Structure 1
Amino acid sequence: MQYDARAMKAQRCRCVGLIACCSLLAMGLSLPASAATDLSEKAAATAAPAATTLRISLDDAVALFLRQNLDLLMAKFGIESAKGQQITAKLFPNPTVSIGTLSAYTQGRNIGNSGQLFGQVQQLFELAGKRGYRIESAGFGTQSVEAAFEDAVRQLTFTVKDAYNRTQLAQRRLALAEENRDRFSRILDVNTIRFKKGYIAEVDLIRIRLQFIDFQSQVIQSIQEGDTARGDLRQLLRVSPATGLELTSEFDYKRIDPDINRLRTMALDARPDVRSKRFTMSQREAELKLARAYRIPDVTVGGGYAVQGSKGPDNQGQLALNLGLPLPLFNRNQGGIVQAEVAVQSAEADLSKTLNQVENEVDVAYRNLLQSRRLVEAFLGGVLDDARSTFTIVERAYERGGATILDLLDAARTSRTIQQNYFEALFSYQRHVIQLESAVGQEILL
């Protein structure tokens, strides 16, 4: 059986064993069973995995990222550990059980004829609301950790959206580069014929060829940028490199005109890192109240029962009740109170710093959004269409002899530069939109 060389190259790796066996059988040869099995196993081992394509929108990418990484992030921030501390804060002190013996060793007495066995239970009672303050502090601590986790999700969501948009930008750059390459490939073919017929000079053909090579290099560069951007997005989404990504969200301009005063209010009220700092400050205030409560000593109440030996003076049992109260003569938790007061002041300063930082982030993101919006709208106001039409007009004029090769090359470069700058401006605008959303702490509706 004759096989065409091109057909052989198109066969899948998984068919190598079968083709080899069939070829040998056709020539009258036979393979041992073990050899055939080894050959099949090698072919299966070298078979390439089937490629899959993941169609994903921007919202789907964010949802997939959170689904793939949520458990890891929760473990990292120790949310369950903080909840465990909250449970511990609610527990009462354990009672203490003690058992002992008492015996006299004078006047012929010993443990056998005058011994006494007694048992006692003691319980510590916390006063001045210590347990309540401890529960309050642990509750604020858990809320602070949860808010810090939400803030991490906020920042990582920005990273995912930015990687998604960078991939879209690379795709648009590649499409533009391929369009310019294909267009100049046709121009090069036509002018090669014209050169052979003596209609144009060799230097003009060389200039067209160099411009074609320039567009071809841009195609390669855009492919590399796209592979890098998709690789970054796959890592964030924890997707296999063998999986292709098809981005379904539009890379187009959508005007938003947010209210800056409303955005500032939203950020100061709802942003997770602000809430985390506020919960931390409330926790420090609860710890200060707990430290002050430790100035009041706790009470220990105990009760017990004692049984005398068989030859004791009265051979009767005895009940005991005791009350223990430390005298706060020296230690009234002075150092703990000072430390708690400093912690409150530090938390208050940290909250004030965060509020100022949030206000500035919102203001900067808003101003950047306005400027990038103006730039995009300037391109859409006619500059983009003018650059494209100018290239087409000059190309047709060149074909009729009404323009020089330098005019053609200049129009091509101008058209390419204007379109690339538009893509950059559109990407910058979308990045400033998600930066503003990140600064506010929630999505801005169009």
Structure 2
Amino acid sequence: MFRFRFYYACFLSAFLLGLGVGSPLLAQTAATPADTIRQSLPQLEQLFLERNFQLLAQRYQIDMADAAITQAGLRPNPNLWFQGNLYNPQTHKVLPFGRPSQADMDAGIYNSGYYAVQLQQVIQLAGKRSKLVALAESNKSLAQLAFRDLMRTLHYQLYSTYANLYYDLQALRLFEDELARQQRLLESYRIALQSGGVAPYEVTRLEVALRDLQANEANYRTQIADEQATLRVLLRQPAQTFILPSELPTLQRTAPPLATALDSAQAHRPDIAITQEQINNAQRSLTLEKARRTPDLTTGLLFEKYGNAYVNFLGFQASMDLPVHNRNQGAIRSAETNLKAVTSGLDNQQVVVQSDVLNAYDKLNTYYAQLNERPDGYLDRIRNISVEATKAYNARMIGLLDYLDKIKTYQQAQLNNIDLMNNLFQSQQLVNYVTNTKFF
């Protein structure tokens, strides 16, 4: 039995060395689909600007607002009115537009030839047209600011998803490598179990560890699938496309001063500008509603041929509604209430922006502290764990379970490092997002 266990230990040692346990796990590349797009962040960003549907739709909103400015500046069309005699019951003639006879004219009877033409023009008073143009210009400014805010949000989503995908793929490679090692080790133990070389509980122990690895691998695969779906929508790519991140920008280890970030957010955040423009929009809307208290003036000319007054009657017309009952009171009060509402919202939005910046800095400083607290050579020592554990196991200085525990420690340390790098990148991008400034 002792000889069998000795040969079996040698077999396992040679088997594990053949697996390349000590080689860097991140050097291995997972298989990717044939229709893979491998691009850097700047390349994806250019593709995003060209193809993103939401940005294209918002650009159309700006074009529509620009067209509304043109429409608001147009004057009312003149109105042309014509009236003629369809049927004369005295002469039994249809459309009697012919000139009356001389005898009828001498007698002052006009049985034919009558028609009337009227030309009217509405004149907008109290500067309604210019005020309507000003309101339309404010609406265009709101559409442009909404485009900037959408761009800010989608840009952050693109960078965040790209980084999550980049680091999740690294974590997936770690689990795939460990899963392959565990599967081979489990098969060798099952063979040894048939010969009585190992206890059944050791095989069960490996099976449980294998199921745990498979569950972790499945979790990362589902996360990667979600990230792929998000990127495909952002970039308008076909459903079968696999987007493979190539690299990330170098992480910066210092952040700008908090005061600089706060000032930048107040100056550059489009949502603050939207709130300010909403106040301007509400003021212009109120001004327009007050102008609408003044009725419009309708002027016109009337020409009547063979009418009741003269043979050729030319008259002047002017009409205006009398603002006795309707002086646009309800619309004015509604506009005043809206102005109060949006004005009070500005202070709240400034508080929201300040809170966003402080929250982002708290997260960033937390991860900076975690990074700076790591001792020198920490990553090198992590990489040595698997190498030293394998050497110790081959020298029969440690048992199998102790060896697996050390390998698991190595894997967890690598995952912690991946998570820290991702969290640092995400927190830096969050600072860019909440300030709308490219600090990183």
Call closer, same or farther: CA 1:415–1:322 in 2, change over 3 Å: same
Root mean square deviation of aligned Cα: 3.7
1:60 has 2:43 as partner: yes
For 1:262, the equivalent position in structure 2 comes to 260
Kept after mapping to 2: 8 A contact 1:177/1:222: no
For 1:289, the equivalent position in structure 2 comes to 287
SS in structure 2 of the partner of residue 78 of structure 1: helix
Call closer, same or farther: CA 1:67–1:379 in 2, change over 3 Å: farther
Call closer, same or farther: CA 1:96–1:235 in 2, change over 3 Å: closer
TM-score (norm 1): 0.74
The one-letter code matched in structure 1 to 2:65 is: A
SS in structure 1 of the partner of residue 76 of structure 2: coil
Q: Output the CA distance in 1 between the equivalents of 2:258 and 2:305.
A: 81
Call closer, same or farther: CA 1:296–1:381 in 2, change over 3 Å: farther
For 2:412, the equivalent position in structure 1 comes to 417
Q: Output the CA distance in 2 between the equivalents of 1:185 and 1:247.
A: 29
Q: Output the CA distance in 1 between the equivalents of 2:206 and 2:335.
A: 76
The one-letter code matched in structure 1 to 2:298 is: T
For 2:149, the equivalent position in structure 1 comes to 151
Q: Output the CA distance in 1 between the equivalents of 2:190 and 2:84.
A: 116
For 2:81, the equivalent position in structure 1 comes to 98
Deviations 1:179-215 (A, max 9, x none): 44566678889999999999x9657964884587368
Call closer, same or farther: CA 1:420–1:116 in 2, change over 3 Å: same
The one-letter code matched in structure 2 to 1:384 is: L
For 1:167, the equivalent position in structure 2 comes to 165
Deviations 1:216-263 (A, max 9, x none): 635565455434433443343232343343311238643241222222
Call closer, same or farther: CA 1:91–1:151 in 2, change over 3 Å: same
Kept after mapping to 2: 8 A contact 1:58/1:249: yes
Bigger Cα displacement from structure 2, 223-232 vs 392-401:
223-232
The one-letter code matched in structure 1 to 2:120 is: Q
Deviations 1:132-175 (A, max 9, x none): 11100011011102211221222122222222112112211122
The one-letter code matched in structure 2 to 1:78 is: Q
The one-letter code matched in structure 2 to 1:92 is: R
The one-letter code matched in structure 2 to 1:408 is: Y
Q: Output the CA distance in 1 between the equivalents of 2:231 and 2:410.
A: 30
Q: CA deviation at 1:353?
A: 2.6
The one-letter code matched in structure 1 to 2:68 is: Q
For 1:362, the equivalent position in structure 2 comes to 357
Kept after mapping to 2: 8 A contact 1:118/1:305: yes
Bigger Cα displacement from structure 2, 89-98 vs 136-145:
89-98
Q: Output the CA distance in 2 between the equivalents of 1:380 and 1:242.
A: 44
The one-letter code matched in structure 2 to 1:176 is: L
**Pairing partner for 1:247 from 245, 248, 251:** 245
Deviations 1:317-365 (A, max 9, x none): 2332233343333332222211111111122123333222122112111
Bigger Cα displacement from structure 2, 423-432 vs 328-337:
328-337
Gapped runs of 5+ residues in structure 2? 1-32, 91-106
Q: Output the CA distance in 1 between the equivalents of 2:324 and 2:218.
A: 82
Kept after mapping to 1: 8 A contact 2:192/2:198: no
Q: CA deviation at 1:420?
A: 0.9
The one-letter code matched in structure 2 to 1:164 is: Y
Call closer, same or farther: CA 1:425–1:116 in 2, change over 3 Å: same
User: Matches of residues 95-244 of structure 1 in structure 2 within 5 Å?
Assistant: 95-100=78-83, 111-112=110-111, 117-181=115-179, 202=199, 206=203, 209-210=206-207, 213=210, 217=214, 218-219=216-217, 222-244=220-242
Kept after mapping to 1: 8 A contact 2:58/2:147: no
The one-letter code matched in structure 2 to 1:156 is: L
Kept after mapping to 2: 8 A contact 1:255/1:373: yes
The one-letter code matched in structure 2 to 1:397 is: A
Q: Output the CA distance in 2 between the equivalents of 1:335 and 1:222.
A: 58
For 1:19, the equivalent position in structure 2 comes to none
Kept after mapping to 2: 8 A contact 1:137/1:287: yes
Q: Output the CA distance in 2 between the equivalents of 1:252 and 1:176.
A: 22
For 2:27, the equivalent position in structure 1 comes to none
For 2:276, the equivalent position in structure 1 comes to 278
The one-letter code matched in structure 1 to 2:246 is: T
Q: CA deviation at 1:283?
A: 1.3
Q: Output the CA distance in 1 between the equivalents of 2:249 and 2:194.
A: 44
Q: CA deviation at 1:56?
A: 1.0
Q: Output the CA distance in 2 between the equivalents of 1:174 and 1:380.
A: 27
1:442 has 2:431 as partner: no
Kept after mapping to 1: 8 A contact 2:163/2:248: no
Q: CA deviation at 1:264?
A: 1.8
Call closer, same or farther: CA 1:383–1:395 in 2, change over 3 Å: same
* Number of aligned residues: 388
Percent identity of equivalent pairs: 24
For 1:329, the equivalent position in structure 2 comes to 324
Call closer, same or farther: CA 1:215–1:391 in 2, change over 3 Å: farther
